[in-house]
Amino acid sequence: MFVNQDQNAPLREDVRLLGEELGSVLREQAGEPLFETVETIRQAAVESRGQGEMQVGRLRELLDPLDDETLLEVARAFSQFLNLANIAEQRHRERLHRHHQRFPGDPDTDQGLRQVLAKLKRAGVDQDRIRAVLDELSVELVLTAHPTEVTRRTLIRKYDQIADLLAGLDRPDLTGEEVEDLRRHLREQILSAWSTDEIRRERPTPVDEAKWGFATIEQSLWRAVPDSMRKVEAELARAGLEPLPADWVPVRFASWMGGDRDGNPNVTAAVTRNVLLLARWMAADLYLRDVENLLADLSMHRASDELLARTGPSHEPYRLLLRQVRDRLRITRAQLEARVNGNPEPAGEGYTSGAQLSGELALIDRSLRAVGLAAIADGQLKDTLRRLNCFGITLLRLDIRQESTRHSDALDAITRYLGLGSYAHWDEPTRQRFLLAELENRRPLVDDAFYQSEFCDDDVRQVLETCGVIAEQGPEGLGAYVISMARASSDVLAVMLLQKIAGVREPMRVVPLFETLDDLNNAGDIMHTLLEIPSYRQRVAGGQEIMIGYSDSAKDAGFLGAAWAQFRAQERLTGIFREHGIPLTLFHGRGGSISRGGSPTRMALLSQPPGSVAGRIRVTEQGEMIRFKYGRPSVAAYNLEQYVAATLEATLMPPAEPRAEWRAAMDRLTEVSVNSYREVVRDDPALVGYLRTVTPETELSRLALGSRPARRKPGGGVETLRAIPWVFAWTQIRLMLPAWLGTGAALERALENSEDTATLHAMSEEWPFFQGAVDMLEMVLAKADTRVASWYEERLTGEQELLRLGEVLRQRLARTVDALHRLTGRDSLLDNNPVMRWSIRVRDPYTDPLHLLQAELMARLRDRETDPVLESALMVTIAGIAAGMRNTG
């Protein structure tokens, strides 16, 4: 399709088509005057961008006379176009993925499994070694709700239908009538989207967020997982590798939705219990649909003696067994529904473990293969077995996350109740001695009277009740117990003891999360201390998981300082666990934006320290990135294959150890970067005022983004603000501060010295870690725009200190762009990525009016305090700019 052609021509045609249809809807629904107003504003923005300098005065002349209602409609029009542009771009990604499959040798395509296997062959990697890694390969993707999707689920469904219609229009064999019919349906869907309120009016509950995750599995991943495995299987066969087991799936899914209680008082023990039950109900329902399809297909009579021993003589033995499976699934679903609703459970034997269901399906699989019907076994049955191996009967494994001081507070209450003193005031060695002694002690630590005592307040009770849910639910539906802000070895031991107190027979694995710069630097010492304890070493002999935090470390130290600290922490941890012979799984807490660890899959994995992947990876997939990467089955299947390929490559062909001079250069770079970042974020007294006056940080709380509060604690400064709204606020005004502040100063300093300059060029060309950092920096700087930020200042503040800081930040940003040009040798940002460059440019004429509108609406609202029309318009601009940037936080 694309050979010797402009690969982006179909994307431009889709954008043009969707724009035309939206224009028709605007004329019909809002009238010719509004359409003309929108079109005049758009043309002015296009002309201004074309001149290379934004003529803000001209746009203001067009916007200022508009009344509040018209401002709302204008904002909706531009926001809607940006969402349609995203659909076109997502569709184009699907198109490019198909091109990748048809022309895998094309240098412009991504590195899929075929390319990785060919690379391994050229490198002389033995097939037995590849097979051994594949046998144990583990990729676990953890779906999280924050930042939760800006776009309403109602609109997401409509956007998916628009994408399907665009895909239909791609068919080369369409008749004129078919084209017209598809365009008519397209117009209907755009009209339907325009007529739908784009703003979520009520904040979702944690259960709502969990249901959103379940819907992603039901509508996309349920199909994508077996589809991706078939593609992987085909590539392995093409490379001459022996087939893997029929149910082999290296990818699994976990979730934080309903389990992440760090700073979210809305996630209670009851919520976690409810989410676990709902997930099992959804799993039973999905497997029931699969079994109904198998019942329709498996009508054959030839069966193995093993199967017939189970069913007895029958002309349709497979259907006989599958009817029993279906009935048992129905009982399972009914029992779970009763438990969710608090009703008496119906009698009967449901499935209580995945092994029960997989055992019966595996029996059918063995029989089909034994009697020469392997081709049938390799059909729908294999898909179901793979789903069962991936999703289990619990759909997802739910992680629990809680902040370390909440565990300390609970133990402090217990020690004071027992008359042992205050755990909170004990030093670290005293805490460790107490925890280790109690972990080995067989007697109960507390009695029932504790729960009725004054020591057991609501916060303590919630911690203990959460452990109680862990005890009652069993291990199959649970993943990791993640300790945020883990700062000492006792933080890990504390959670182990709390599970013991609650009577957990098969404890959840305890995973410390190292987040701040200091925590990352101390991670190796903390884990070394734990591994020096024989009983702990014995408990984790089968493997240890450690989470690396990207968001809070970048908020603490800036992008570059955090990235180097993360690299060094992983490097040291990998070495420590290798010395002890204990498998280590690193859990990467990445977000969508660069300042929260976001980057393409292959780049992210190949930039890790050598040996740190080792066939095992765990990664968070957050908020809108779930929709972008997994919302549509074909895109999801492609991204799952990318994870498998990149994990295999990073394991068998890891990057070389960084040279000593590169390490020294990074130490110098990050010292400058961290100091430069902190002198603004921590030390400039105008920063908090600028954030709350010039950016929509305070207005973001009006948007029903998610169930979790924006701040860990009410009031306070930047330190209390979560990383997500911190990034979101700067993205809205196109300053993108968390992604570059400090890094530019470090590059400037290094480029002043010819020896350092030569070292930086070598790092850019030869070191994947540094290559990835530079590429991501370039991508985010291409989205930044100092002129846009100045509009907000001009409209929203006259305070000299804020204007001073704004000028400083814009100058620093300009110098960062200049330093990057000098480093890369490219005159323009993203010269090496024309698709991304075009994507940003085509959005600018639509985001520019939204930025001006947003600043105007913020000013008007701050004067009036409350106004429903203005509030709606402001929320539309926030969502529209997020769509234009393809990122919230």
How far apart, in whole angstroms, are the C-alpha atoms of residue 842 and residue 827? 20
How far apart, in whole angstroms, are the C-alpha atoms of residue 121 and residue 239? 9
> Once rounded to an integer, what is the mean pLDDT over residues 661-665?
97
How far apart, in whole angstroms, are the C-alpha atoms of residue 46 and residue 759? 41
E strands present in 220-367: 251-255
pLDDT band at 462 (very low <50, low <70, confident <90, very high): very high
Place of tokens 């509030």: 871
Candidate CATH numbers 2.60.40.1120, 1.20.1440.90, 3.40.1010.20, 3.40.50.2000; the one for domain 283-391: 1.20.1440.90
Here the contacts of 650-653 (C-beta below 8 Å, separation 24 or greater) are: 650/605, 650/606, 650/608, 650/613, 651/133, 651/137, 651/613, 651/614, 651/615, 652/120, 652/125, 652/129, 652/130, 652/133, 653/119, 653/120, 653/123, 653/125
Does residue 294 have a pLDDT over 90?
A: yes
pLDDT band at 597 (very low <50, low <70, confident <90, very high): very low
How far apart, in whole angstroms, are the C-alpha atoms of residue 582 and residue 586? 13
CA 198 to chain centroid, in Å, comes to 22
pLDDT band at 628 (very low <50, low <70, confident <90, very high): confident
CA 270 to chain centroid, in Å, comes to 25
Provide the H-helix boundaries in 64-205: 68-102, 113-122, 127-136, 153-169, 176-194
Tell me, what amino acid is at 271? V
How far apart, in whole angstroms, are the C-alpha atoms of residue 153 and residue 163? 15
Nearest to 745 by CA among 663, 826, 813: 813
Residues 80-109: tens digit of each pLDDT: 988 898 888 888 877 877 766 655 544 444
Q: Write the CA distances from 734 to 29, 775, 781, integer angstroms.
A: 32, 18, 9
Confirm if 199 and 875 have CB atoms less than 8 A apart.
Answer: yes
- Cβ-based neighbour number of residue 494 at 10 Å: 25
E strands present in 571-707: 584-589, 616-622
Does residue 111 have a pLDDT over 80?
A: no
**Structural domain spans, the chain:** 1-109+155-196+842-889, 283-391, 403-583, 660-832
Provide the H-helix boundaries in 767-866: 768-783, 786-796, 800-824, 834-864
Backbone φ and ψ for 548, nearest 5 degrees, come out as -105, 125
β-pairing, 478-484 with 509-514? parallel
* Residue 189, both tokens: 């869907």
Q: Which of 97, 100, 407, 555 is catalytic?
A: 555
Q: Residues 867, 868, 874, 879: what is their CA dihedral angle, to the nearest 10 degrees? A: 160
How far apart, in whole angstroms, are the C-alpha atoms of residue 762 and residue 772? 14
> Once rounded to an integer, what is the mean pLDDT over residues 678-706?
85
Does residue 369 have a pLDDT over 50?
A: yes
Residues 515-571: tens digit of each pLDDT: 889 999 999 999 999 999 999 999 999 999 999 988 778 888 899 999 999 999 999
Q: How many CA atoms lie within 13 A of 448 on its CB side?
A: 0
How far apart, in whole angstroms, are the C-alpha atoms of residue 790 and residue 252? 46
> Once rounded to an integer, what is the mean pLDDT over residues 620-638?
86
How far apart, in whole angstroms, are the C-alpha atoms of residue 408 and residue 410? 5
Does residue 1 have a pLDDT over 60?
A: no
Residues 794-838: tens digit of each pLDDT: 999 999 999 999 999 999 999 999 999 999 988 777 766 776 777
List the single range of 348-352, 684-688, 727-731 with lowest mean pLDDT: 727-731
Q: What is the pLDDT of residue 105?
A: 47
Q: Which of 92, 97, 100, 146 is catalytic?
A: 146
Label residue 522 exposed, middle or buried (CB < 10 Å: 0-12, 13-18, 19+). Answer: middle
SS3 labels along 483-534: EECCCCHHHHHHHHHHHHHCCCCCCCEEEEEECCHHHHHHHHHHHHHHHCCH
Does residue 585 have a pLDDT over 70?
A: yes
Peptide bond between residue 534 and the one before it cis (omega within 30 degrees of 0): no
Backbone φ and ψ for 144, nearest 5 degrees, come out as -125, 160
Confirm if 436 and 428 have CB atoms less than 8 A apart.
Answer: no
pLDDT band at 592 (very low <50, low <70, confident <90, very high): low
Q: What is the pLDDT of residue 702?
A: 65
Does residue 746 have a pLDDT over 60?
A: yes
Q: Write the CA distances from 431 to 24, 108, 435, 438, 492, integer angstroms.
A: 69, 56, 6, 11, 11
Specify the 3-state DSSP secondary structure of 556.
helix
Q: What is the pLDDT of residue 106?
A: 46
Q: Write the CA distances from 781 to 116, 535, 657, 776, 840, integer angstroms.
A: 31, 50, 29, 9, 11
Specify the 3-state DSSP secondary structure of 384.
helix
Specify the 3-state DSSP secondary structure of 342.
coil
Does residue 766 have a pLDDT over 90?
A: yes
> Once rounded to an integer, what is the mean pLDDT over residues 317-330?
97
* 599 or 248, which is more confident: 248
Q: What is the pLDDT of residue 368?
A: 98
Q: Write the CA distances from 119 to 645, 738, 858, integer angstroms.
A: 11, 37, 54
Degrees, nearest 5: CA angle 526-528-530: 75
Q: Which residues contact 218 (CB under 8 A, 6 or more apart)?
A: 282, 286
Does residue 595 have a pLDDT over 50?
A: no
* 609 or 111, which is more confident: 609
Q: What is the pLDDT of residue 713?
A: 53
Confirm if 880 and 848 have CB atoms less than 8 A apart.
Answer: no
**Among residues of the chain, what percentage have pLDDT more than 90?**
65
Backbone φ and ψ for 613, nearest 5 degrees, come out as -85, -55
- Arithmetic mean of pLDDT over the chain: 89
Q: What is the pLDDT of residue 147?
A: 45
DSSP secondary structure code for residue 711 in this structure: B
Q: What is the pLDDT of residue 719?
A: 59
Label residue 744 exposed, middle or buried (CB < 10 Å: 0-12, 13-18, 19+). Answer: buried
Best-predicted range by mean pLDDT among 172-186, 196-210, 286-300?
Answer: 286-300
Specify the 3-state DSSP secondary structure of 150.
coil
Nearest to 210 by CA among 163, 254, 167, 156: 254
* 420 or 875, which is more confident: 420
How far apart, in whole angstroms, are the C-alpha atoms of residue 712 and residue 722? 7
Provide the H-helix boundaries in 404-488: 404-417, 428-440, 448-451, 458-473
Q: Using alpha carbons only, how large is the chain's radius of gyration in Å?
A: 28
Q: What is the pLDDT of residue 96?
A: 77
Q: Does residue 555 have an active-site annotation? A: yes
Q: What is the pLDDT of residue 118?
A: 95
> Once rounded to an integer, what is the mean pLDDT over residues 420-426?
97
Q: Does residue 100 have an active-site annotation? A: no
Q: Which residues of 386-410 are buried (b: 16+ CB within 10 A; e: fewer)?
A: bbbbbbbbbbbbbbbbbbbebbbbb
Longest dimension (CA), the chain: 90
Confirm if 467 and 504 have CB atoms less than 8 A apart.
Answer: yes
Q: What is the pLDDT of residue 718?
A: 62
pLDDT band at 884 (very low <50, low <70, confident <90, very high): confident
How far apart, in whole angstroms, are the C-alpha atoms of residue 296 and residue 474? 34
**Helix or strand run (H / E) with residue 329:** helix 317-341
Confirm if 583 and 577 have CB atoms less than 8 A apart.
Answer: yes
> Once rounded to an integer, what is the mean pLDDT over residues 487-491?
96
* 156 or 469, which is more confident: 469
Task: Give the end-to-end CA distance of the chain in Å, rounded to a whole number.
Answer: 36
Confirm if 329 and 289 have CB atoms less than 8 A apart.
Answer: no
